[in-house]
Structure 1
């Protein structure tokens, strides 16, 4: 049974480290959430380690710049593990070939910058769609358009047997009050059409392996029992934690705020109905990280 709490401090002493989602938990796509920042800073001051685990399709260094812009202080976290870094490592190992067609926005071009995580990286070349061996998807060019606009290209890609590397498994995010589609929505459509999509962010194992490596650089000997995963995505953050056998804290005031009838806190009955529908089992739940 999921326990509803009102403050991270009620349970945080049970854990040595936190794996914390960003969008919807620490910021809203435009600015930091003050109560979340305060809670994470206080947790670190008590001796805990905080690894930010995000499905952002960029490197941890680019995410750190964004956090600075959103006024999330470095005192709130120890390190960052991104879907982008995990997916980039796979790309430079050649999982979708050497000639790739890129789907994304201009700020995603850093995805192709050199990566020092692997030996003997493959030379990756961005090419026109018709010349590509595979697809690298950081997200739709227009995040407000339905992913169906890519159906013609995806049908052609499926017929050619092209793999799609999904740099961000999130399907949607809320930028302030505006909902946007992410790379996961395109990958989901491609899979439904019979194509092969490759995932490296939450809820899939590669990003958790990366998060554990990042954690080990700051704190040795932390077991999975000593980690609490925090996030607002039922299909990414919570299912990912369940798959890794890690306790989780579900932030209901993010993507599921309407379904869980969250104002300050989730409605207990609505939360239970939502958990049952989504087939998830978070250890704890609260409205906003605080």
Structure 2
């Protein structure tokens, strides 16, 4: 069974009441907004649909909304924004621990704001929060293995604030905190995953959709997940029982796109082990 490849998404989107859309790779490319995608979402909203952006970005949604503004993603393209940072904050609160070792950019420390949590060195740490690599342009996840081995040997809880393994920044494919969490689990450590494809992220997204719809319930059969990652977006849709639209020109583009168009054989290989299949695929949302 093959997946239909669409050139235009409007008719498909109109079949659904709620879109849960990935952000990086669908709405922007890490540098600037993808205008056709934003225009498609705005048209959908003008027709009465609700758009929840669900991002594995490690910052709280209020912070990431400002980042989207800077990338020229129009506010008219979405109703609500839910991030891994929001889930991370909930997980930090649940630990009841005070001394955290942070891996990631200094600006990611917004996830700790409002908590009685101190950022400490390795020896003092009671738990670990990884939002990104410290410098994902220069570092590789394997460089962290010795540090992660020491934390795992001590049995420290590890919160992964961005479950993505990699992300495109323009034309570069760069590692994310999910790669560190994968190593930590290989070492026998316990990881709490704060984002897609795990249920807490989708529970927050559905709550946001209900709020945007004035409290009306959301029928799972009328929810469409839009995303570019098999491991997170499509797996999350499958776990929740939602339909999905696969954007082939995101992180899998080297396997699925040639000269701007979807390559059927490449698409089939990427989706070979994923069931159920997406309802459709596109090179880019538009």
Q: Shorter-chain TM-score: which interval?
A: over 0.9
Aligned to 1:119: none
Alignment of 1:143-222 (within 5 A): 143-144=136-137, 145-219=139-213, 220-222=216-218
Question: Comparing 171-180 with 2-11, which one deviates more in the overlay?
Answer: 2-11
The residue matched to 2:23 in structure 1 has which SS?
A: coil
**C-alpha RMSD of the superposition:** 1.4
Alignment of 1:1-290 (within 5 A): 1=1, 2-94=3-95, 97-114=97-114, 123-144=116-137, 145-219=139-213, 220-277=216-273, 281-290=277-286
Paired residues of 1:52 and 1:79 also in contact (CA < 8 A): yes
Paired residues of 1:263 and 1:287 also in contact (CA < 8 A): no
The residue matched to 1:62 in structure 2 has which SS?
A: helix
Aligned length: 282
Task: Give the CA deviation at 1:123.
Answer: 2.6
Question: Comparing 259-268 with 59-68, which one deviates more in the overlay?
Answer: 259-268
Cα distance per residue 1:27-53 (max 9 Å; x no partner): 011100010011000000011000000
Paired residues of 1:135 and 1:164 also in contact (CA < 8 A): yes
Question: What's the TM-score once normalised by structure 1's chain length?
Answer: 0.94
Task: Give the CA deviation at 1:284.
Answer: 1.3
The residue matched to 1:50 in structure 2 has which SS?
A: strand
The residue matched to 1:276 in structure 2 has which SS?
A: coil
Separation (CA, whole Å) in 2 of partners of 1:272 and 1:196? 34
Task: Give the CA deviation at 1:170.
Answer: 0.4
Change (3 A) 1:19 1:262: farther
Paired residues of 2:257 and 2:283 also in contact (CA < 8 A): no
**Structure 1 unmatched ranges of 5 or more:** 115-121
Separation (CA, whole Å) in 1 of partners of 2:130 and 2:29? 23
Cα distance per residue 1:161-197 (max 9 Å; x no partner): 0111000000110110112111101101111122111
Cα distance per residue 1:138-173 (max 9 Å; x no partner): 011011311111111111111100111000000110
Task: Give the CA deviation at 1:112.
Answer: 1.0
Separation (CA, whole Å) in 2 of partners of 1:261 and 1:71? 25
Separation (CA, whole Å) in 2 of partners of 1:198 and 1:89? 11
Task: Give the CA deviation at 1:81.
Answer: 0.7
Task: Give the CA deviation at 1:264.
Answer: 3.4
Change (3 A) 1:182 1:280: farther
Separation (CA, whole Å) in 2 of partners of 1:92 and 1:151? 27
